[in-house]
Amino acid sequence: MKVPKPRKLPSGTWFINLRLGGANIPVSADTEKACRDKAALIKAEHNAGKKRIAKSELTLREALSRHIEKKEKAARSPETIRSYEVIKENRFQSAMDKRVSSINNWQELYDIDASHLSAKTMSNTWMLIKSACKSECGIELPEIEVKEIKRKGRPFLEPEEITAFVKAIKGSKYEIPMLLELSSCRASEVSGLDWKDVDLKNNRIYINGAIVRDKDNKYVEKTDNKTAESTRYVPIFIPELKAALEAVPDKTGKVVKARANTIYRNVNRICEGAGLPTIGNHGLRHSFASLCYSLGVPIKITMQIGGWSDYNTVMKIYTHLSKRDVGKYTQDLTNFFAEKNESEDNNVNEIVNKLPRPL
């Protein structure tokens, strides 16, 4: 019986996406022949009307494949789909071709990957696997002990460090993308920016698209942004950015030709050379929020310029900075009461000195 030709996955497993009765049936096996034979048997049984694929028979890989396909049809971001595919091809590999209903060592499987991966990576992995097993197999996975996500140190520049950074990148090949990110733009938004959206006359930039990588690791252009709030006008408030944009002779096509990873490396290289924290692309965007806090910009305005939809994301930066300021304000309070007490003591001494002395 004719079936599609199996393809070998990076994990070494052979895979066929079998289309039967309008549904996709993922088939996998250890060898090419076994995969082809398995697919042929499933197709024969389907054609004979004897058997339909039961949810309980799905392997973990098959469950994930179905789940990811649904997400892709629901128009999830190509970058998100890519991250799902990475999880399917690289995590929990010893169990990928086992039936979900037969797996009972979830904690052990989690711990194997958790031993060398970050807590955030493991959180994303576990969330996807739990969701796929429940959605595609009707199986609720047990509670397990997961790695605690520890927040990294300060991922942005303080206001005084921003000044040093702007000076350090003056004339750099990547000055424009770095200053755009420092103006609140995401790296993907910088990559997708067209000259037609740069309004130098009115000192503003229209952000309405992005360039991201898809599941095949190819760069693709999105015509919509991460959230509704991401489509916005960003004011050109950095004089060096205005000058750098005006100096570009050919103002057609994409404003920035370099890829985000190239810019990332150069951001950190320049930071290291200037004695600043290495913050990468996204750290520049967060530095914008740091500056807004320092200048007393209302958080709603910060969110509007930066295209943040999540209040808590910006509040994490504001809260961190406010904690830093506790020491300063505590000293101001101490000085106030110390000066008040000293003033009162002086007044009391002055009154006492004016009292008539006893005979």
Give domain limits for the chain: 159-314
Average pLDDT on 164-173 reads 94
Single-letter amino acid, residue 52: R
pLDDT of residue 233: 94
To the nearest whole percent, how much of the chain has pLDDT over 90? 50
pLDDT of residue 49: 62
CA-to-CA dists, residue 49 to 20, 21, 28, 271, 303, angstroms:
12, 11, 22, 65, 57
**Helix, strand, coil proportions of the chain in percent (round to 5)?**
55, 10, 35
Residue 174 pLDDT level (bands cut at 50, 70, 90): very high
**Above 90 in pLDDT, residue 309?**
no
For the question of whether the overall pTM of this predicted structure is more than 0.75, the answer is no
pLDDT of residue 86: 93
pLDDT of residue 63: 93
Average pLDDT on 108-136 reads 93
To the nearest whole percent, how much of the chain has pLDDT over 70? 86
Average pLDDT on 203-228 reads 80
Query: Which residue reads 């990873």 in tokens?
Result: 261
29 membership: H or E segment, kind and range: strand 23-29
**Above 70 in pLDDT, residue 204?**
yes
Average pLDDT on 316-329 reads 71
Residue 346 pLDDT level (bands cut at 50, 70, 90): low
pLDDT of residue 152: 61
Digit-coded pLDDT (tens) for 141-162: 999 999 887 666 567 898 889 9
Task: Report H helices in 229-259.
Answer: 239-246
- Between 1 and 216, the more confident residue is 216
Residue 318 pLDDT level (bands cut at 50, 70, 90): confident
Mean pLDDT in the chain?
85
- Between 127 and 23, the more confident residue is 127
| Domain spanning 159-314: CATH superfamily | Intergrase catalytic core (1.10.443.10)
- Between 213 and 304, the more confident residue is 304
- Between 264 and 12, the more confident residue is 264
Rounded Cα distance, 280 and 266, in Å: 8
Average pLDDT on 86-97 reads 94
**Above 80 in pLDDT, residue 118?**
yes
